[in-house]
Amino acid sequence: MTTEIIDVADLDVIFLTYDEPKKEEFWIKIQNMVPWAKRVDGVLGSDAAHKAAARCSDTERFVLIDGDNVPDPEFFNLQLRLDDSNHDAVFRWKARNHINGLMYGNGGISCWTREFVENMRTHENTDGTDETLVEFCFHPKYWAMHDCYSTTYPNGSEFQAWRAGFREGVKMCLDRGARPTLENFEKNMNARNYDNLCIWQTVGRDVDNGQWAILGARHGTFKTMLTDWDYTRVQSFDALKEIWEAEVKYVDPAVDIVGYGKPLRTRLGLPIAEMDAENSKFFKQHYAKQYINHGTLIRE
Protein backbone atom coordinates (compact mmCIF):
# COMPACT_ATOMS: atom_id res chain seq x y z
CA MET A 1 0.00 0.00 0.00
CA THR A 2 1.36 3.38 -1.02
CA THR A 3 1.40 5.96 1.77
CA GLU A 4 1.86 9.72 1.44
CA ILE A 5 1.95 12.24 4.25
CA ILE A 6 0.87 15.76 3.30
CA ASP A 7 1.16 18.83 5.49
CA VAL A 8 -2.04 20.87 5.39
CA ALA A 9 0.22 23.92 5.22
CA ASP A 10 1.46 22.71 1.82
CA LEU A 11 -2.01 22.79 0.28
CA ASP A 12 -3.72 25.70 -1.38
CA VAL A 13 -6.46 27.20 0.79
CA ILE A 14 -9.49 28.68 -0.95
CA PHE A 15 -11.93 30.98 0.87
CA LEU A 16 -15.25 30.57 -0.95
CA THR A 17 -17.64 33.49 -0.43
CA TYR A 18 -20.93 34.66 -1.88
CA ASP A 19 -23.08 37.09 0.11
CA GLU A 20 -22.11 36.30 3.72
CA PRO A 21 -22.44 39.50 5.80
CA LYS A 22 -19.12 38.98 7.62
CA LYS A 23 -17.08 37.64 4.71
CA GLU A 24 -14.67 40.61 4.64
CA GLU A 25 -14.08 40.42 8.39
CA PHE A 26 -13.49 36.67 8.21
CA TRP A 27 -11.22 37.05 5.17
CA ILE A 28 -8.88 39.22 7.22
CA LYS A 29 -8.83 36.60 9.98
CA ILE A 30 -8.07 33.83 7.51
CA GLN A 31 -5.28 35.80 5.84
CA ASN A 32 -3.69 36.31 9.25
CA MET A 33 -3.79 32.54 9.84
CA VAL A 34 -2.99 31.48 6.28
CA PRO A 35 -1.14 34.18 4.33
CA TRP A 36 -1.13 31.99 1.20
CA ALA A 37 -4.94 31.71 1.12
CA LYS A 38 -6.80 32.56 -2.09
CA ARG A 39 -10.39 33.69 -2.54
CA VAL A 40 -13.28 32.99 -4.90
CA ASP A 41 -16.23 35.36 -4.49
CA GLY A 42 -19.70 35.80 -5.93
CA VAL A 43 -20.09 32.66 -8.07
CA LEU A 44 -23.77 31.65 -8.15
CA GLY A 45 -24.53 27.95 -7.72
CA SER A 46 -22.88 25.45 -5.40
CA ASP A 47 -21.50 23.26 -8.18
CA ALA A 48 -20.20 26.22 -10.17
CA ALA A 49 -18.65 27.85 -7.11
CA HIS A 50 -16.77 24.69 -6.17
CA LYS A 51 -15.52 24.30 -9.73
CA ALA A 52 -14.27 27.91 -9.63
CA ALA A 53 -12.44 27.11 -6.38
CA ALA A 54 -10.84 24.03 -7.93
CA ARG A 55 -9.62 26.04 -10.91
CA CYS A 56 -8.14 28.60 -8.51
CA SER A 57 -6.01 25.97 -6.78
CA ASP A 58 -2.46 25.26 -7.95
CA THR A 59 -2.30 22.07 -5.86
CA GLU A 60 -4.28 18.97 -6.85
CA ARG A 61 -5.65 18.66 -3.33
CA PHE A 62 -6.90 21.87 -1.73
CA VAL A 63 -8.62 23.11 1.43
CA LEU A 64 -11.96 24.90 1.12
CA ILE A 65 -13.33 27.32 3.73
CA ASP A 66 -16.89 28.65 3.48
CA GLY A 67 -17.55 32.37 3.74
CA ASP A 68 -19.16 32.17 7.19
CA ASN A 69 -16.51 29.89 8.71
CA VAL A 70 -13.53 30.71 10.95
CA PRO A 71 -11.01 27.87 11.21
CA ASP A 72 -9.18 26.85 14.37
CA PRO A 73 -5.56 27.99 13.77
CA GLU A 74 -4.16 24.58 14.74
CA PHE A 75 -5.86 22.98 11.72
CA PHE A 76 -3.07 24.30 9.51
CA ASN A 77 -0.46 22.44 11.60
CA LEU A 78 -2.04 19.06 10.86
CA GLN A 79 -0.94 16.34 8.48
CA LEU A 80 -2.98 14.10 6.19
CA ARG A 81 -1.89 10.49 5.86
CA LEU A 82 -3.07 9.33 2.45
CA ASP A 83 -3.04 5.79 1.09
CA ASP A 84 -4.73 3.74 -1.62
CA SER A 85 -8.07 3.89 0.22
CA ASN A 86 -8.37 7.66 0.64
CA HIS A 87 -6.00 9.43 -1.73
CA ASP A 88 -8.90 10.45 -3.98
CA ALA A 89 -11.47 11.09 -1.22
CA VAL A 90 -13.01 14.39 -0.18
CA PHE A 91 -12.78 15.09 3.56
CA ARG A 92 -15.39 17.22 5.32
CA TRP A 93 -14.63 18.00 8.96
CA LYS A 94 -17.22 19.17 11.43
CA ALA A 95 -17.84 22.77 12.43
CA ARG A 96 -19.28 24.19 15.64
CA ASN A 97 -22.45 26.05 14.82
CA HIS A 98 -22.52 29.40 16.65
CA ILE A 99 -26.32 29.52 16.62
CA ASN A 100 -27.23 26.18 18.15
CA GLY A 101 -23.98 24.50 19.19
CA LEU A 102 -24.32 21.56 16.80
CA MET A 103 -21.13 19.91 15.57
CA TYR A 104 -21.45 18.25 12.18
CA GLY A 105 -20.34 18.77 8.60
CA ASN A 106 -22.58 21.74 7.83
CA GLY A 107 -20.34 24.74 7.15
CA GLY A 108 -17.15 22.87 8.06
CA ILE A 109 -13.70 22.91 6.49
CA SER A 110 -13.34 20.50 3.58
CA CYS A 111 -10.46 19.13 1.52
CA TRP A 112 -11.09 18.28 -2.14
CA THR A 113 -9.17 17.15 -5.19
CA ARG A 114 -9.46 19.15 -8.38
CA GLU A 115 -10.28 15.98 -10.30
CA PHE A 116 -13.23 15.15 -8.01
CA VAL A 117 -14.69 18.65 -8.32
CA GLU A 118 -14.34 18.83 -12.08
CA ASN A 119 -16.08 15.47 -12.50
CA MET A 120 -18.96 15.99 -10.05
CA ARG A 121 -22.44 16.98 -11.22
CA THR A 122 -24.50 18.36 -8.33
CA HIS A 123 -27.02 21.06 -7.35
CA GLU A 124 -27.70 23.33 -10.36
CA ASN A 125 -25.52 20.98 -12.46
CA THR A 126 -27.16 17.79 -11.16
CA ASP A 127 -26.90 14.53 -13.07
CA GLY A 128 -30.61 14.04 -12.36
CA THR A 129 -30.36 11.58 -9.48
CA ASP A 130 -32.01 12.31 -6.14
CA GLU A 131 -28.62 12.11 -4.43
CA THR A 132 -27.17 15.03 -6.40
CA LEU A 133 -30.14 17.42 -6.46
CA VAL A 134 -29.31 19.29 -3.25
CA GLU A 135 -26.16 17.64 -1.83
CA PHE A 136 -22.56 16.57 -2.42
CA CYS A 137 -22.45 14.10 0.43
CA PHE A 138 -23.82 10.88 -1.07
CA HIS A 139 -20.82 10.18 -3.30
CA PRO A 140 -18.91 7.18 -1.86
CA LYS A 141 -15.67 9.18 -1.88
CA TYR A 142 -17.16 12.11 0.04
CA TRP A 143 -16.11 11.27 3.58
CA ALA A 144 -17.68 12.79 6.68
CA MET A 145 -14.94 13.06 9.30
CA HIS A 146 -15.23 12.86 13.07
CA ASP A 147 -13.12 15.82 14.20
CA CYS A 148 -14.15 19.46 14.51
CA TYR A 149 -11.72 22.21 13.41
CA SER A 150 -13.74 25.39 12.92
CA THR A 151 -16.75 27.50 13.88
CA THR A 152 -19.48 28.52 11.48
CA TYR A 153 -21.36 31.80 12.01
CA PRO A 154 -24.47 31.71 9.77
CA ASN A 155 -26.17 34.51 11.72
CA GLY A 156 -24.67 37.68 10.32
CA SER A 157 -28.10 38.98 9.29
CA GLU A 158 -31.75 38.05 9.68
CA PHE A 159 -31.82 36.70 6.12
CA GLN A 160 -28.62 34.68 6.42
CA ALA A 161 -29.82 33.07 9.65
CA TRP A 162 -33.25 32.25 8.20
CA ARG A 163 -31.67 30.83 5.04
CA ALA A 164 -29.24 28.68 6.99
CA GLY A 165 -32.05 27.25 9.08
CA PHE A 166 -34.38 26.84 6.11
CA ARG A 167 -31.81 24.89 4.08
CA GLU A 168 -31.13 22.48 6.93
CA GLY A 169 -34.85 22.26 7.71
CA VAL A 170 -35.35 20.98 4.17
CA LYS A 171 -32.27 18.82 3.62
CA MET A 172 -32.41 16.92 6.90
CA CYS A 173 -35.94 15.76 6.09
CA LEU A 174 -34.81 14.00 2.94
CA ASP A 175 -33.97 10.33 2.45
CA ARG A 176 -30.81 10.32 0.31
CA GLY A 177 -32.08 13.43 -1.45
CA ALA A 178 -35.69 12.30 -1.91
CA ARG A 179 -38.75 13.49 0.00
CA PRO A 180 -40.22 10.72 2.18
CA THR A 181 -43.91 10.18 2.72
CA LEU A 182 -45.43 11.39 5.98
CA GLU A 183 -45.73 7.75 7.04
CA ASN A 184 -42.04 7.09 6.42
CA PHE A 185 -40.71 10.43 7.65
CA GLU A 186 -39.38 9.38 11.04
CA LYS A 187 -38.79 5.73 10.15
CA ASN A 188 -36.51 6.50 7.18
CA MET A 189 -34.63 9.41 8.70
CA ASN A 190 -31.06 9.00 9.89
CA ALA A 191 -31.14 9.22 13.70
CA ARG A 192 -28.42 11.87 13.85
CA ASN A 193 -30.18 14.00 11.24
CA TYR A 194 -33.40 13.71 13.22
CA ASP A 195 -31.67 14.99 16.37
CA ASN A 196 -29.95 17.80 14.46
CA LEU A 197 -33.22 18.83 12.83
CA CYS A 198 -34.95 19.10 16.20
CA ILE A 199 -32.06 21.13 17.65
CA TRP A 200 -32.09 23.55 14.69
CA GLN A 201 -35.79 24.08 15.37
CA THR A 202 -35.33 24.63 19.10
CA VAL A 203 -31.97 26.14 20.12
CA GLY A 204 -30.45 29.55 19.42
CA ARG A 205 -32.40 32.41 20.93
CA ASP A 206 -29.29 33.48 22.88
CA VAL A 207 -27.42 34.81 19.80
CA ASP A 208 -28.06 37.58 17.29
CA ASN A 209 -30.65 36.48 14.74
CA GLY A 210 -30.90 33.05 16.31
CA GLN A 211 -34.68 33.12 16.32
CA TRP A 212 -34.60 33.67 12.55
CA ALA A 213 -32.61 30.45 12.16
CA ILE A 214 -35.15 28.57 14.30
CA LEU A 215 -37.95 30.02 12.17
CA GLY A 216 -36.10 29.06 8.98
CA ALA A 217 -35.63 25.46 10.10
CA ARG A 218 -39.31 25.09 11.00
CA HIS A 219 -40.38 26.88 7.81
CA GLY A 220 -38.22 24.64 5.61
CA THR A 221 -39.50 21.43 7.18
CA PHE A 222 -43.09 22.65 6.97
CA LYS A 223 -42.83 23.49 3.25
CA THR A 224 -41.03 20.23 2.46
CA MET A 225 -43.21 17.78 4.36
CA LEU A 226 -46.59 19.50 4.70
CA THR A 227 -47.01 21.28 1.34
CA ASP A 228 -46.43 20.42 -2.32
CA TRP A 229 -43.53 22.90 -2.63
CA ASP A 230 -40.70 21.72 -4.92
CA TYR A 231 -38.05 20.97 -2.32
CA THR A 232 -35.28 20.80 -4.94
CA ARG A 233 -35.51 24.60 -5.13
CA VAL A 234 -33.55 24.70 -1.88
CA GLN A 235 -30.36 24.53 -3.95
CA SER A 236 -31.14 27.91 -5.57
CA PHE A 237 -30.13 30.98 -3.58
CA ASP A 238 -32.33 33.08 -5.89
CA ALA A 239 -35.36 30.92 -5.05
CA LEU A 240 -34.65 31.25 -1.33
CA LYS A 241 -34.40 35.02 -1.68
CA GLU A 242 -37.83 35.02 -3.34
CA ILE A 243 -39.34 33.05 -0.45
CA TRP A 244 -37.76 35.46 2.03
CA GLU A 245 -39.17 38.50 0.24
CA ALA A 246 -42.64 37.03 -0.29
CA GLU A 247 -43.26 35.06 2.90
CA VAL A 248 -40.84 35.98 5.67
CA LYS A 249 -39.21 39.39 5.59
CA TYR A 250 -41.90 41.30 7.47
CA VAL A 251 -43.20 38.64 9.87
CA ASP A 252 -42.71 38.55 13.62
CA PRO A 253 -40.38 35.54 14.01
CA ALA A 254 -41.48 34.86 17.59
CA VAL A 255 -45.08 34.47 16.42
CA ASP A 256 -44.32 32.39 13.32
CA ILE A 257 -41.97 30.06 15.21
CA VAL A 258 -44.90 29.05 17.42
CA GLY A 259 -47.25 28.92 14.44
CA TYR A 260 -45.08 26.45 12.51
CA GLY A 261 -44.31 24.49 15.65
CA LYS A 262 -47.89 23.30 16.12
CA PRO A 263 -48.28 21.32 12.85
CA LEU A 264 -44.70 20.06 13.05
CA ARG A 265 -45.49 18.53 16.44
CA THR A 266 -48.94 17.22 15.62
CA ARG A 267 -48.51 16.03 12.03
CA LEU A 268 -44.82 15.03 12.00
CA GLY A 269 -44.41 14.22 15.67
CA LEU A 270 -41.29 16.35 16.03
CA PRO A 271 -40.33 16.67 19.72
CA ILE A 272 -39.41 20.36 19.49
CA ALA A 273 -39.60 22.81 22.38
CA GLU A 274 -39.74 26.56 22.94
CA MET A 275 -36.37 27.24 24.58
CA ASP A 276 -35.56 30.79 25.64
CA ALA A 277 -32.12 32.40 25.51
CA GLU A 278 -31.04 31.13 28.93
CA ASN A 279 -32.03 27.56 28.12
CA SER A 280 -30.34 27.71 24.73
CA LYS A 281 -27.10 28.89 26.29
CA PHE A 282 -27.27 26.13 28.90
CA PHE A 283 -27.79 23.47 26.22
CA LYS A 284 -24.80 24.63 24.18
CA GLN A 285 -22.45 24.79 27.15
CA HIS A 286 -23.14 21.19 28.08
CA TYR A 287 -23.46 19.82 24.55
CA ALA A 288 -19.95 21.06 23.69
CA LYS A 289 -18.30 19.45 26.71
CA GLN A 290 -18.94 15.94 25.45
CA TYR A 291 -16.97 16.39 22.23
CA ILE A 292 -13.34 15.26 21.82
CA ASN A 293 -11.30 15.07 18.61
CA HIS A 294 -9.92 11.62 17.83
CA GLY A 295 -7.64 12.12 14.83
CA THR A 296 -7.50 14.09 11.61
CA LEU A 297 -8.60 11.29 9.27
CA ILE A 298 -10.91 9.38 11.60
CA ARG A 299 -14.31 9.04 9.93
CA GLU A 300 -17.69 9.42 11.58
Residue 300 domain flag: no
Q: 134 and 183 share a domain?
A: no
> Given this model, what pLDDT does residue 1 score?
73
Q: 142 and 16 share a domain?
A: yes
Residue 119 domain flag: yes
Give the C-alpha separation, 45 to 237, whole Å: 8
Q: 45 and 143 share a domain?
A: yes
Tens of pLDDT, residue by residue over 24-48, are 999 999 999 999 999 999 999 999 9
Q: What is the mean pLDDT of residues 66-88?
A: 97
Q: 200 and 238 share a domain?
A: yes
**Domain boundary, last residue among 153, 185, 209:** 153
Q: What is the mean pLDDT of residues 194-211?
A: 98
Q: 148 and 168 share a domain?
A: no
In the chain, the number of structural domains is: 2
| Band of pLDDT at residue 131, cut at 50, 70 and 90 | confident
Residue 293 domain flag: no
Residue 132 domain flag: yes
Tens of pLDDT, residue by residue over 257-292, are 999 999 999 999 999 999 999 999 999 998 887 789
Q: 213 and 115 share a domain?
A: no
**Domain boundary, last residue among 107, 129, 153:** 153
Give the C-alpha separation, 140 to 279, whole Å: 39
Residue 127 domain flag: yes
> Which one has a higher pLDDT value, 290 or 119?
119
Residue 299 domain flag: no
Q: For residue 62, what is the domain's CATH number?
A: 3.90.550.10
Give the C-alpha separation, 153 to 161, whole Å: 9
Q: 191 and 221 share a domain?
A: yes
Q: What is the mean pLDDT of residues 125-148?
A: 91
Q: What percent of the chain has pLDDT over 70?
A: 100
Q: 175 and 97 share a domain?
A: no
Q: What range defines the domain where residue 263 resides?
A: 158-288
Residue 296 domain flag: no
Q: 87 and 196 share a domain?
A: no
Residue 298 domain flag: no
Q: 232 and 105 share a domain?
A: no
Q: 46 and 166 share a domain?
A: no
Give the C-alpha separation, 122 to 135, whole Å: 7
| Band of pLDDT at residue 130, cut at 50, 70 and 90 | confident
**Total residues belonging to the chain:** 300
Q: What is the DSSP string of 65-134?
A: EETTEEE-GGGGG-EEEE-TTTTT-EEEEEEEETTT--EESTT--EEEEHHHHHH---GGG--SSHHHHS
83-121 burial, b at 16+ Cβ within 10 Å, e below that, comes to eeeeeebbbbbbbbbbbbbbbbbbbbbbbbbbebbeebe
**Domain boundary, last residue among 118, 153, 188:** 153
> Given this model, what pLDDT does residue 256 score?
98
Q: What is the pTM of this model?
A: 0.96
Q: 69 and 131 share a domain?
A: yes
